[in-house]
Amino acid sequence: MRLKGKTAIITGGGEGIGKATALLFCKEGAKVGITGRTKKKLDEVVKEARGSGEIIAFPGDVSKEEDVKRIVDEFVKRFKNIDILFNNAGVLEVGTVTTTSVEAWDKIIDINVKGTFLMSKYVLPHMLENGGGSIINNSSVLGFIGCQNTVAYNTSKGAIMQFTRSLALDHAKQGIRVNTICPGFIKTKMNEDFIGNPPDAQKQLDEIAAGLVPMGKRGEPDDIAYALLYLASDESKYVTGASIVVDGGWTAY
């Protein structure tokens, strides 16, 4: 078991990549706390947990400082320390700079960027107290390349990559490793939202992936979870400030 004896907080843990990662980390021996705004989804993940680890739900909104403080305090009270933080919570709304509302912009930046900042701000002192830890931030291939009609989301993912580099440099000599995972075209609800949730969404998405991704298909949430397992484990003890791309070759063009 690659995470035996370790503890982890995963934001946005109720579905998609967050859910797949929580289940894998539990299987690999970690005690995992999952956060999210929908308690029902979190509870369903807890019920699916298998392996020698444990998953506990800590409902809350990462864009709200009081929620973040409470989540971190409750997690530490339960598990004593924090070894791993996966800042995964994120939202997407389509729009150009002229069609994106101020409300939509604020929502995306608050959850995707501010949420990552707040969780890191309140988790990192516990990691320092315990001599180290691994923070992993969820960016995207869209932190590297552009995409039409998603100006706010693209901006947030670019910000996450720079935040990661800054945090990695600030704490490299204190035992804190900070890295970014950059998923490509993965089978998550966010893809369906991007194309407007038509009845044949899965067919359309598969056709898009066939023309866009060199490997010709969308990835599974597990494909990202296994890369995260490496970054969370001691196997990546000399890796910090890195951006790990898992995209079926999309950015190789």
Provide the pLDDT for residue 195.
Answer: 86
Provide the pLDDT for residue 122.
Answer: 98
Q: How far is it, in rounded angstroms, from Cα 62 to Cα 85?
A: 13
Structural domains in the chain, CATH included, are: 7-184+220-246 (3.40.50.720), 188-218 (no CATH)
CB-based contact 88:12 (threshold 8 Å): yes
SS (H, E, C) 45-58: HHHHCCCCCEEEEE
Residue 85 structure tokens:
């933080």
Q: What is the pLDDT along the chain (253 residues), one digit of tens a residue?
A: 999 999 999 999 999 999 999 999 999 999 999 999 999 999 999 999 999 999 999 999 999 999 999 999 999 999 999 999 999 999 999 999 999 999 999 999 999 999 999 999 999 999 999 999 999 999 999 999 999 999 999 999 999 999 999 999 999 999 999 999 999 999 998 888 888 889 999 999 999 999 999 999 999 999 999 999 999 999 999 999 999 999 999 999 8
Q: How far is it, in rounded angstroms, from Cα 241 to Cα 179?
A: 5
Provide the pLDDT for residue 253.
Answer: 87
pTM (2 decimals)?
0.97
- Cα-atom radius of gyration of the chain, to the nearest Å? 17
Q: How far is it, in rounded angstroms, from Cα 182 to Cα 242?
A: 10
Q: How far is it, in rounded angstroms, from Cα 102 to Cα 218?
A: 32
Would you please indicate which residues are annotated as catalytic (active-site) residues? 153
How buried is residue 203: exposed, middle or buried, by Cβ count under 10 Å (0-12/13-18/19+)?
A: exposed
